[in-house]
Amino acid sequence: MNPILKYLKNVFATKRVLGDDPTLTGLVKADAVLQDMYADDKFPGLAITVLKDGKTIFQKGYGYADLDTKKYVDPKFSIFRIASVSKPIAATALAHMVQAGLISLDESFYTYLPDYPKKKWDFTIRQLASHTAGIRVYKGKEFALNEPFGIKDSLSIFKNDPLVFEPGTEYLYNSFDWVMISAAMQEASGIPFEAYVQEKVLDPLGMKNTYIPRRHPDDNLKQSDIDVNAIATSEVQNSVTAFYTKSISGFRKATPVDIFYKLAGGGYLSTSEDIAKFGQAFLDQKVGVNEAILNQFLTAQLVNGNSTYYGLGWQVSEDAKGRKFFGHVGSGVGGYSNFFVYPKEQLVFSILINSTDPKVQEDLDVVIDSFFDELDYN
């Protein structure tokens, strides 16, 4: 499509909410940057929701949820792969489990899965959650694995590999850590991981448009009667975006993957509105976990006296302007996401893209910064 026509089509998009205050030029700047990104074919489709003091000040869809059917992105209802933004959701469920006394952060992983192959060193749930346990990263084609693993069964992918360093001495970000945590959580609670998350996080926070992919239950667990949101019905399927990867010739369908097994580390699907709602629950202190426990999750861990800028399942850092935030960036097959919560400024950003890493983080940083420019938070 002609770039000018693309721009005009988005300018007059019906699925759009902008702040009522006409002086908010920062919002207009953010919109213009996103329009330019779309016109330059930097993504197939993008949804953004921004909250200030619990109210939506900017919400819009850009481009297509599906390039073949020309279905537009709807920021309220288009369902994206959120990749590693799944980790804060899993971490919140883990915090509930800690509060309930079902699991201990400083207990050995082997307490919950004693049959896991023994390593040179022991390691704890806290070390797994903070990526300091020494578990390896993806190898070869594991990033795009398309096998119908259950959570516990998937441990076979890496369980026979040695730790890459002594736990607690280094930091190495990976998603296998959270596969292991979700397996431990299942053993501790006696019910499927996804059922526990549904009961303790998604349902209480009203995240009705957050889903798991096709389910592969582990045989050893009793099945819960908790109704889990799964991508199963045709009605829901119609709201799921297509998933793309960028090539020299443009965007093509991403390679098929089965990501149920790494639900905790990067398997959930959601809308930009639901993820923003999730972030707002932390600002409103409505997560249902006491402050002392939450603070452990939202405090950057130290390794050899140096900050990792990572808590337990959460990125905890400062942006380029020194503003403190917690949240996560997600990058998976067919999905890229930004989720940032700024406590001081009471701002929540949720940006979802239906493409494998489209290399647009610098552009998204400009978009986010535009809101601070406008709201005079520099």
38 forms beta bridges with: none
What CATH number labels 3-79+322-375? 3.30.450
- With a CB cutoff of 8 Å and minimum separation 6, the contacts of 255 are 144, 146, 245, 333
The helices-and-strands tally (H runs, E runs) of the chain is 10, 14
Q: What is residue 6's predicted lDDT score, i.e. its pLDDT?
A: 39
What is the rounded distance in angstroms from the CA atom of residue 144 to the CA atom of residue 333?
A: 7
289-303 residue pLDDT tens: 999 999 999 999 999
Q: Does domain 83-269+279-307 have CATH number 3.40.710.10?
A: yes
Q: At 148, is the pLDDT very low, low, confident or very high (cuts 50, 70, 90)?
A: confident
Task: Inform me whether the pLDDT recorded for 253 exceeds 50.
Answer: yes
Q: What is residue 11's predicted lDDT score, i.e. its pLDDT?
A: 35
- With a CB cutoff of 8 Å and minimum separation 6, the contacts of 311 are 130, 296, 297, 298, 299, 300, 301, 326
What is the rounded distance in angstroms from the CA atom of residue 361 to the CA atom of residue 14?
A: 26
| Cα 330 versus chain centre, distance | 5
311-356 residue pLDDT tens: 999 999 999 889 999 999 999 999 999 999 999 999 999 999 999 9
What is the rounded distance in angstroms from the CA atom of residue 373 to the CA atom of residue 40?
A: 24
Q: What is residue 230's predicted lDDT score, i.e. its pLDDT?
A: 77
Element (H, E) at 275: helix 272-283
Q: What is residue 357's predicted lDDT score, i.e. its pLDDT?
A: 94
89-126 residue pLDDT tens: 999 999 999 999 999 999 999 999 999 999 999 999 99
> What residue spans define the domains of the chain?
3-79+322-375, 83-269+279-307
What is the rounded distance in angstroms from the CA atom of residue 251 to the CA atom of residue 43?
A: 8
Side chain identity, residue 368: I
92: three-class secondary structure by DSSP: helix
Task: Inform me whether the pLDDT recorded for 19 exceeds 50.
Answer: no
Quick check: 89 and 177 in contact, CB under 8 A? no
- CB neighbourhood size of 361 (10 A): 13
365: three-class secondary structure by DSSP: helix
Give the whole-number percent of the chain exceeding pLDDT 70: 88
Q: What is residue 3's predicted lDDT score, i.e. its pLDDT?
A: 37
Task: Inform me whether the pLDDT recorded for 160 exceeds 50.
Answer: yes
Task: For CA atoms 341, 285, 309, 194, give the dihedral sign.
Answer: negative
The alpha helices in 106-213, defined as continuous H runs, are 125-129, 176-189, 193-197
Task: Inform me whether the pLDDT recorded for 254 exceeds 60.
Answer: yes
What is the rounded distance in angstroms from the CA atom of residue 16 to the CA atom of residue 60?
A: 5
Q: At 217, is the pLDDT very low, low, confident or very high (cuts 50, 70, 90)?
A: low
Please provide residue 354's backbone torsions phi and psi, each rounded to the nearest 5 degrees.
Answer: -95, 50
Q: At 9, is the pLDDT very low, low, confident or very high (cuts 50, 70, 90)?
A: very low
What is the rounded distance in angstroms from the CA atom of residue 258 to the CA atom of residue 262?
A: 9
SS3 labels along 26-89: HHHHHHHHHHHHHHCCCCCEEEEEEEECCEEEEEEEEEEEECCCCEECCCCCCEEECHHHHHHH
Query: Higher model confidence: residue 82 or residue 378?
Result: 82
- Among the ranges given (156-165, 172-181, 207-216), the one the predictor scored with the smallest mean pLDDT: 207-216
| Reported pTM | 0.91
